[in-house]
Amino acid sequence: MPALQWIATYRIGDLASIAGVAISLVGFAVTVLNVRRSRSAAERAEAAANDARRLVRGYETITDFSAAIAIMEEIKRLHRVGQIDPLLDRYAALRKTLIEVRKMSPLANQNMDQVIQNAITTLASMEDLVERARAARSALNFVQLNQRLSRDIDELYGVFVDMKREGGSQP
């Protein structure tokens, strides 16, 4: 029996079509499963990347906060020796650092925000006092300025410790 007649007699073409449909359905199901797995893996990767970014920003915040406290201690030293000109630059740099910490910290809460804002306000008023005294060539009460600054340092240091503690418990 010739090959074509055998194929026609046993309907091999119909069987091949049915087999093709079955293989296509299985292939489609496998593709859908793999797409779901890929999407799930992408979502997990995105979540891990977000966690890593949050963790890095938390460490940056702690570093910036530590630098801010060091600048505050430097300002106290400048008050003690009466060096007015460098003070103005340090006030501005410190306010910028504290504003960045306040706005960018993933660890901030309402209490931390309030303490940082109070320090920023204190620094702005101190800078204004120093500017006015410099322009008028009048003396400043550096003891009073250092008392205000020391109070803010103590409060900010408490926030700093809280940030370090909370930063250490982040995933």
Give the whole-number percent of the chain exceeding pLDDT 90: 26
Residue 69 carries which side chain, given as an amino acid letter?
A: I
pLDDT tens per residue across span 115-168: 999 999 999 999 999 999 888 988 888 999 999 999 999 998 888 888 777 764
d(CA 148, CA 112): 18
Specify the pLDDT at position 171.
41
Write down the domain spans for the chain: 55-168
The model's confidence at residue 4, banded by pLDDT at 50, 70 and 90, is: low
For domain 55-168, the CATH architecture is Up-down Bundle (1.20)
* Residue whose token pair is 């205000």: 148
Contact 68, 98 (CB under 8 A): yes
